Amino acid sequence: MEGEYEPSPSAWVREQVALYERTGGAEGNTLGDTGLPVVIVTMRGRKTGKIRKIALMRVEHEGRYALVGSQGGAPEDPMWVHNLRENPDAVTLQDGPAPFAARVREVGGAEREEWWERAVAAFPDYADYQRKTDRLIPVFVVDRAE
């Protein structure tokens, strides 16, 4: 993805993304010391147009991925959710050494429920986060761009 990179204002996110990318996913590939795997998602900021990167829980099924906008059960969606809604075709995902171009779409209904079950299986805290908030936590499905 072309453009100026704007690192996260959060130091731990900046450091994890840098470590993951520098080592091709060999390091910085888990959520802290939990051992639970993460992926790196690159997107275009909706307001600035700059490149933004985040580490999210790895929820993979048959080569497709889910991105869960939990923000720990906060009352509002994380900022990256708005970026994906605005620019669903300006996304890359890195799960291991090489990133790939992707498209995302927010899912609802039965499809969301299927992916939500997979997400909770990968990261059980998601269920607690949903109980903490009145909003329906958004779920995006990632497909490789053709």
Distance between CA atoms of residues 95 and 65, nearest Å: 10
Distance between CA atoms of residues 47 and 26, nearest Å: 32
Q: How many CA atoms lie within 13 A of 64 on its CB side?
A: 15
pLDDT on residue 142: 97
pLDDT on residue 13: 92
Q: Could you tell me the sign of the dihedral formed by the alpha carbons of 94, 17, 135, 82, in that order?
A: negative
Kindly give, in sequence order, each residue whose CB lies less than 8 Å from that of residue 64, ignoring residues fewer than 6 positions away: 141, 142, 143
- DSSP-assigned letter for residue 137: P
Residue 93 sits at φ, ψ, to 5 deg, of -130, 135
Distance between CA atoms of residues 31 and 122, nearest Å: 12
Kindly give, in sequence order, each residue whose CB lies less than 8 Å from that of residue 130, ignoring residues fewer than 6 positions away: 70, 73, 136, 137
CATH number of 11-144: 2.30.110.10
pLDDT on residue 59: 97
Q: What is the pLDDT along the chain (146 residues), one digit of tens a residue?
A: 899 999 999 999 999 999 999 999 999 999 988 899 999 999 999 999 999 999 999 999 999 999 999 999 999 999 999 999 999 999 999 999 999 999 999 999 999 999 999 999 999 999 999 999 999 999 999 999 97
